[in-house]
Amino acid sequence: MTPLHFSFSSAFTLGLMGLAFHRTHLLSALLCLEGMMLSLFIALALWALQFEAISFSPGPMLLLSFSACEASAGLALLVATARTHGSDRLQNLNLLQC
């Protein structure tokens, strides 16, 4: 495994571990998800450049656009949660209640 592959896989793993262990606030969970998506974007972009895969070159841009949509939906949920519950703590939310 090259150092470049190791760094991107460790960045993804750190984002996943942060998502699994530090889930007290919704904002920290969203930041961990964004870190994971950013490491995937950079890894896919470098993979397409390394293997000169012309047919897969739009893939990283598609992933980046989906990541932007995910971030906007997450921030909308964060604002709605902060308005209704007064904070973004995940322990205060009852997800089964409408």
pLDDT, residue 93, reads: 74
Q: How far is the C-alpha of 32 from the C-alpha of 84, rounded, in Å?
A: 24
Give the residue numbers spanning the domain of 60: 3-92
Which tens digit of pLDDT belongs to each residue from 36-70?
Answer: 999 999 888 888 888 877 777 788 889 989 999 99
Residue pair 36/51 in contact (Cβ under 8 Å)? The answer is no
On whether residue 16 sits in a domain, the answer given is yes
For residue 27, the domain's CATH number is 1.10.287.3510
In a domain, 98, yes or no: no
13 within a domain of the structure (yes/no): yes
Indicate the DSSP class of residue 93.
Answer: -
pTM, full prediction: 0.83
Total tally of structural domains belonging to the chain: 1
Burial class of residue 3, CB neighbours in 10 A (0-12, 13-18, 19+)? exposed
pLDDT at position 95 is: 64
Domain assignment of residue 97, yes or no: no
